[in-house]
Amino acid sequence: MEQMVHSNPLSSSESQTQNELSRVEVQRPSSGLNRELRVWARDLVVALGLAMIIIVFFYQPVKVEGTSMAPLLSDQERIFINKFVYHFEPIERGDVVVFWYPLDRTKSFIKRVVGLPGDEVEIRRGRVYINGKSLEEPYVPSQYIDTAAYGPVEIPRDEYFVMGDHRISSNDSRIFGPVPAAFIYGKAVFAYWPWTQFGSITSVNASESSR
């Protein structure tokens, strides 16, 4: 048997008002969802735009050529460099930097900062000494050590002594001398290709390196 449900009857005006309220209540969720979607889409576009501005103006993609920074960086690897970081913080020992090649400024090199301005740099049997103290370099595998001697030399003001991690195959400050700060235009910060190398490129803290 069909069950009957009773309700209080409404006048015609009350019924019309109730219908309008019902229509408003039914339409409100859809209207609110559309607004939310528009706001979300707008914020997404703004975020993507800001991200592109940051990448274009603050970061630069570069391709590594050669093996002088192996095993940290490999030949043909793609990385991002931060072009403005050294406007806000000093160049530090252990940073991996990109700079104009002092002997040909149409070329760019990527190396690791080993000696700072005012440092005395010496190499004995492949081990680097800074101001007479041995520099711990965990980023240089034993098979990549060059046992040739160098120095001692004092690094001039506003110049940096740079070396590749693959010491045997690296053309660096041992050959072309310290690099002027004005030639250094970026710091390697992130590797994005190949995917197996995807991730940040961290510097070695100077306090952990020297002893």
What is the CATH classification number for the domain harbouring 114? 2.10.109.10
Helix (H, G, I), strand (E, B) or coil at 160: strand
Phi, psi of 31 (to 5 degrees): -65, -40
Please confirm, yes or no, whether 111 is among the known catalytic residues: yes
pLDDT higher than threshold 60 for residue 206:
no
pLDDT confidence bin for 30, thresholds 50/70/90: low
Structural domain harbouring 151: 64-209
Residue 23 pLDDT: 52
What digits encode the pLDDT tens for the residues 63-120? 999 999 999 999 999 999 999 999 999 999 999 999 999 999 999 999 999 999 999 9
The secondary structure of residue 188, as a DSSP letter, is E
The answer to whether residues 96 and 187 belong to one domain is: yes
Residue 149 pLDDT: 95
The answer to whether residues 44 and 146 belong to one domain is: no
Number of structural domains (the chain) is 2
Catalytic residue among 7, 15, 22, 68: 68
| C-alpha 148, offset from chain centre | 33
Catalytic residue among 63, 111, 133, 142: 111
Q: What is the pTM for the complete model shown?
A: 0.73
Q: What value does the mean pLDDT take over residues 28-50?
A: 77
The answer to whether residues 35 and 76 belong to one domain is: no
Give domain status of residue 2, yes or no: no
Please confirm, yes or no, whether 170 is among the known catalytic residues: no
Residue 148 pLDDT: 93
pLDDT confidence bin for 22, thresholds 50/70/90: very low
| Percentage of the residues of the chain whose pLDDT score is greater than 90 | 64
Cis amide bond preceding 117, omega within 30:
no
152-179: b or e for each residue (b if 16 or more CB lie within 10 Å)? ebebeeebbbbbbbbbeebebbbeebbb
Tally of CB atoms within 10 A around 91: 18
Tokens for 49? 């735009």
Residue 34 pLDDT: 81
Residue 59 pLDDT: 87
d(CA 106, CA 67): 20
